[in-house]
């Protein structure tokens, strides 16, 4: 069975005001120190994974954690819950909170972290870098080879917008309603190397494209190839990068479950000689925009027809598309249950808007999202 690993980015917030707080360096250092002092450590943190779990990100107001590769979704869920709680504990020791929010509801003045790569990005891309205080969820799914990985990337392209809609958790930007369910994805799309890709057809063509992009000098390195789905440059995985960080850990697990099923389904289609759907990048960009705008509250573009379709029908089309892979992995019942819950209760974006309507306070929205992050 294919393994799955998740990377989640979390916002660091002032405990009292709920505004983003630039404490990433201190939180990561505290996690490493606690790891070094924990039972079973050799004194240098060498026997505990925690000092390698938390990392700084582009901005000083966010941290990232990464799970271990898991084949069982129950174990993946437990690990996500554990690291969210540990992140909250380390931040709490410094008078801060963490929240699984893809953008800050309250106004923020982002500051780029210190480091040669981050400083290069700020100089190269200016305001685009400065405004990238967004938190995503990246899912790594194991593949057997680069050739299989590229075949997967080619075949999952039209379905990725549905993951954007399911994970939508960023309705607010600088204290205002953005009118989007996933405004994070719109901000992320400002990078010139981000977004959907054409059909590559082979690992050789994929590698040539990446090499050509790096050779332009616009990118610092291969790690800045921000395709919606790409071959990881560090692991033998396909990395799916479209989702908002999800308010509830259960939604993160659903996104990971569907991502693995999409990869397995695509690999089976490739082995069976079925060609990828040939939608052009322009249509895929429109589908991604529609998903970011609507979430699950309006129509989406159907991945096969690219025509407006009620969101629940599109979600069920995704489940039907990957049902065989879900059944084989034992995840079909759970995936159906979680998608039904989301369609009924709504995404994180809807939750935030409903709470603002009830309380009239973005600070109250933040405080409840801090609680929900660890629930």
Domain limits, the chain: 108-373
Q: DSSP letter string over 153-186?
A: HHHHGGGHHHHHHHH--B-EETTEE-S-SBHHHH
For the chain, which ranges sit under pLDDT 70? 38-51
**55-91, pLDDT tens digit by residue?**
988 889 999 999 999 999 999 999 999 999 999 999 9
- Residue whose entry in the numeric block shows the structure tokens 């790594």: 140
| Predicted local confidence at residue 116, as pLDDT | 86
Residue 355: partners with Cβ closer than 8 Å, 6 or more residues away? 364, 365, 368
Residues 255 and 141: beta-carbon distance below 8 Å: no
Helix locations, 189-280, DSSP H? 203-215, 249-271
| Residue 40 pLDDT | 55
Fold of 108-373: Creatine Kinase; Chain A, domain 2 (3.30.590)
Residue 375, pLDDT score? 79
Total-model pTM: 0.95
Bridge partners, residue 97, by sequence: 13
Whether the CA torsion 313, 318, 320, 323 is positive or negative: it is: negative
DSSP 58: S
User: What does the alpha-carbon distance between residue 105 and residue 103 come to, in Å, rounded to a whole number?
Assistant: 6
């Amino acid at each position: 069975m294919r393994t799955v690993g998740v990377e989640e980015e979390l916002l660091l917030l002032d405990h009292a005001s709920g505004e983003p707080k630039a404490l990433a360096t201190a939180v990561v250092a505290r996690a490493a120190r606690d790891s070094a002092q924990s039972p079973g450590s050799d004194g240098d943190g060498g026997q505990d994974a925690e000092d390698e779990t938390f990392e700084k990100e582009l901005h000083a107001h966010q941290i990232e954690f990464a799970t271990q590769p898991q084949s069982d979704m129950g174990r993946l869920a437990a690990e996500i819950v554990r690291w969210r709680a540990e992140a909250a504990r380390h931040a709490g020791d410094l008078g801060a909170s963490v929240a699984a929010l893809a953008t800050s509801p309250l106004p923020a003045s982002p500051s780029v972290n210190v480091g040669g790569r981050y400083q290069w990005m700020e100089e190269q891309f200016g305001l685009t870098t400065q405004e990238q205080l967004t938190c995503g969820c990246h899912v790594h799914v194991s593949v057997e080879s680069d050739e299989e990985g590229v075949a997967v990337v080619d075949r999952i392209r039209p379905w990725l917008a549905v993951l954007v809609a399911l994970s939508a958790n960023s309705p607010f930007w600088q204290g205002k309603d953005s009118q989007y369910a996933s405004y994070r994805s719109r901000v992320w799309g400002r990078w010139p190397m981000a977004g959907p890709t054409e059909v590559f057809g082979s690992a050789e063509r994929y590698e040539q494209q990446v090499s050509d992009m790096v050779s332009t000098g616009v990118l610092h390195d291969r790690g800045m190839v921000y395709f919606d789905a790409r071959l990881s440059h560090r692991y033998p995985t396909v990395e799916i990068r479209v989702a908002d960080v999800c308010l509830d850990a259960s939604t993160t697990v659903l996104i990971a479950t569907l991502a693995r099923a999409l990869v397995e389904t695509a690999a089976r289609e490739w082995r069976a000689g079925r060609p990828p759907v040939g939608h052009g990048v322009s249509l895929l960009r429109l589908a991604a925009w529609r998903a970011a705008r609507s979430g699950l509250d309006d129509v989406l573009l159907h991945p096969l027809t690219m025509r407006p379709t009620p969101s629940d029908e599109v979600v069920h089309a995704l489940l039907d598309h990957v049902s065989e892979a879900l059944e084989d992995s034992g995840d079909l019942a759970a995936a159906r249950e979680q998608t039904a819950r989301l369609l009924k209760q709504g995404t994180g974006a809807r939750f935030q808007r409903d709470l603002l309507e009830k309380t009239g306070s973005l600070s109250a929205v933040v405080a409840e999202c801090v609680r929900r992050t660890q629930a």
